[in-house]
Amino acid sequence: MKHTQLFISVIALVISLFAGYKVIERQPQSSYNIKAVIIDSDKVINESLALQSVQQQIREQNSRLQQEFESELEKFKPSQEEFELLSEEAKKEKTEQFNKHAVSARDNYTRKMSHLEESYRDAVDSIFNKIKEVAKKTAEKNNIDLVLFISKKNQVLYSMDEVDLSDVVLKNINKEIPEFTLKGIN
């Protein structure tokens, strides 16, 4: 699957380069002054302090929710000694009560996990919008016409170091939002 995506990306790149070459070939000499740069998406995403902060919060909240769920189940789980002393009918009733509480606890856990996932998606969207904003400011400041946000190791066959703005954008994004607090998690 990964190789298929890479193959398709390379073909698309070759076709776009060929099409771009044909367009440039027909234009006057002065239109060659297009300044393009790349930003390594993997690097910016993996090294963003804000995203690292969000991921840490997600891990902590996930762990807390898991512990709450397990604790909730333990509250209603009868001890082995207690269970053995019960009559068959009482055992059946106790099992039904436990199953009812287990389903309720599981539903509550699922609802909270869904909310946590939604908070994560919202945070990632906010951070990504900030990355786009920083990239745009950097491009405008440096008179750059085109910024490509791509995985450098998978989709760029060659680039000069001056064409890669990953470090500049990463430094600026980490300065602007060094940390990010997830909203509405309880």
- Per-domain boundaries in the chain: 1-33, 34-176
Supply the DSSP symbol for 36. Answer: E
- What is the C-alpha separation between 123 and 48, in angstroms, rounded? 13
Report the topology of domain 34-176. Protein Binding, DinI Protein; Chain A (3.30.910)
pLDDT tens per residue, the chain (186 residues)? 555 565 565 555 556 655 555 444 445 545 567 888 888 888 898 899 999 999 999 999 999 999 999 998 888 777 777 777 778 888 888 888 888 999 999 999 999 999 999 999 999 999 999 999 999 999 999 899 999 888 866 777 777 777 888 888 999 989 998 888 887 655
pTM: 0.67
Contacts of 34 (CB under 8 A, 6+ apart): 145, 146
